[in-house]
Structure 1
Amino acid sequence: MPIRVICFDLDDTLWPIEPVIYHAEAQLHHWLCQHYPRIAAQFDPLTFRQLRQQLVEIQPQLSCDLTRLRKLSLAQAAAQVGYSDSLVEPAFEVFMAARHQVQLYDDVLPTLEKLHHHYLICAVTNGNADVRRLGLGHWFDAIFFAREVGAAKPHPALFEAVCHYAQAQPAQVVHIGDDAVCDIAGAAAVGMRTVWINRYPHKPWSGTILPDAMIHSLTELEKLLINWNTKESN
């Protein structure tokens, strides 16, 4: 079947995520120091990370809703030091504002501009970054969040949601991502074609399910898709 739908992971596929989260958590801690110092004194970014892990162990369903998880951790921290949970929403917005200060890889915008004219473009993420808030919404036809579907990659629900939305067979969808399990194994399990974006030339493959293709830059993607569709039409 010819490819109709291109599906992108976001974090570490369209931008590096580690510096973004580090900065966002630092900004949140700075804000807490100014407005809720008792929380800041007891909970630094590492302590909050440990608290979130404890919450996931108690409520595993939180692993697919990072927004709710972060809000619950803020509410619990507030309760422990005697603050009202009214701080949760403004504190979370401080985090989210910084969470969306991403630095796109250089190949992202040129690739989206080219592909948007020929394919349905979707984003699929376990995180809470929103391409619309990043000013990229006009390049995407839809975005699918794990928290809205109720399951995180590699669970098939997110990938099946893309197929349902696009009214496409899985073989007509290509998923591009950086993670061997969440992206490649997850998409392959529902029958999608998979492309591993490996931005580090010496990084070895760590998965058990091989991707249909590997690229080091999204600039390679258009040619790959044309070749696949040419073979399908012959």
Structure 2
Amino acid sequence: MIRFNRAIRPFSVMSFDLDDTLYNNHPIIKAAVSAQQNYLNALPRYQEQGPQYWQKCRQLAALQQPELKDNVTQWRKHTLHLALSKLGFTEQEVALHASNAYNAFADARSNIVVSDDVLALLDNLAQHFTLIAITNGNVEIERFNLHNKFELVLQAGMHGKAKPHSTLFDKAAAHLKVTKSDILHIGDSLDTDVQGANNTGCQSVWLNDQNAKYDYKGLADVEITNIHALTHFIRS
């Protein structure tokens, strides 16, 4: 299904969100969180704190440094150090266990295989448009089979504030030397992808296949229910 809420102006760049847009991220995140927790729970002092300890420390980290919410990698790393420091580990032990726990998370986090049909779609689109990625996530794209599909990859935290803030869209336009209306951004989230693109002056496509609730009440320029509907934009 493809529905046009507004007329699409000519564009030269297709910008993709990654998680839950080009692959199902839910089982990947679940596995990554489990890998981290399995490492931490092998430490008796940590396990004794109970299942809510991580979330409490995560919330405390955000209170201490609100800017961490724009960088999920640093938020996780800071929370690991905070959680372990509160348990009386030495500085060296904190550094060791925090590093090992994060690496367990990161290894599972990037254990992604994008389907062949999506890769073929991107290859097809790349013959007509410049393809880039703009993500709030911390997936390491060089570690799986999207690593050579984009001319530019921008990640929240590393390159600027998280969507829906305009920073990553602004940087993309400046880097590619295009106007923001030349960018068509595709993503699964109304709150981050569509709101961010709309507010910044980019054009927006909402991949509506998550059955999720969102706060943003604005409309995407285009709504689709299957990523392959993007072939509609290929010029004959």
Q: 1:22 aligns with which of 27, 30, 40?
A: 30
Instruction: Give per-residue Cα distances to partners, 1:22-56, cap 9 Å, x unaligned.
Output: 2111111212234x332233254x43133212211
TM score, norm. by length of structure 1: 0.87
For the Cα contact (< 8 Å) 1:15–1:104, is it kept in 2? yes
Rounded to whole Å, the distance in 2 between the matches of 1:95 and 1:8 is 24
For the Cα contact (< 8 Å) 2:114–2:146, is it kept in 1? no
Rounded to whole Å, the distance in 2 between the matches of 1:152 and 1:125 is 8
Residue in 1 aligned with 2:180? 170
Cα–Cα, structure 1 residues 53 and 102, in superposed 2: closer, same or farther, change >3 Å?
A: farther
For the Cα contact (< 8 Å) 1:43–1:77, is it kept in 2? no
Structure that is richer in helix per residue: 1
Q: 1:93 aligns with which of 77, 100, 103?
A: 103
Residue in 1 aligned with 2:218? 209
Cα–Cα, structure 1 residues 41 and 23, in superposed 2: closer, same or farther, change >3 Å?
A: farther
Q: 2:125 aligns with which of 104, 115, 133?
A: 115
Residue in 2 aligned with 1:9? 17
Rounded to whole Å, the distance in 1 between the matches of 2:146 and 2:190 is 25
Rounded to whole Å, the distance in 2 between the matches of 1:105 and 1:60 is 36
The aligned runs of 1:152-171 (5 Å cut-off) are 152-171=162-181
Query: 2:45 aligns to what SS in structure 1?
Result: helix
Q: 1:222 aligns with which of 216, 226, 231?
A: 231
Aligned length: 224
The aligned runs of 1:42-81 (5 Å cut-off) are 42=49, 44=51, 46-81=52-87
- Stretches of structure 2 that go unaligned for 5 or more consecutive residues are 1-8
Deviates more, 1:97-106 or 1:111-120: 97-106
Rounded to whole Å, the distance in 2 between the matches of 1:74 and 1:182 is 26
Q: 2:206 aligns with which of 153, 173, 196?
A: 196
Residue in 1 aligned with 2:46? 39
Q: 1:134 aligns with which of 139, 144, 164?
A: 144
Moved over 4 A (4+): 202-206
Shift of 1:147: 0.6
Structure of higher RCO (CA pairs closer than 8 Å, 6+ residues apart): 2
Q: Which amino acid aligns with 2:149?
A: W
For the Cα contact (< 8 Å) 2:21–2:227, is it kept in 1? no
Identical aligned pairs, as a percentage? Answer: 31
Cα–Cα, structure 1 residues 51 and 103, in superposed 2: closer, same or farther, change >3 Å?
A: farther
Deviates more, 1:169-178 or 1:111-120: 111-120
TM score, norm. by length of structure 2: 0.86
Rounded to whole Å, the distance in 2 between the matches of 1:216 and 1:3 is 21
Shift of 1:58: 2.6
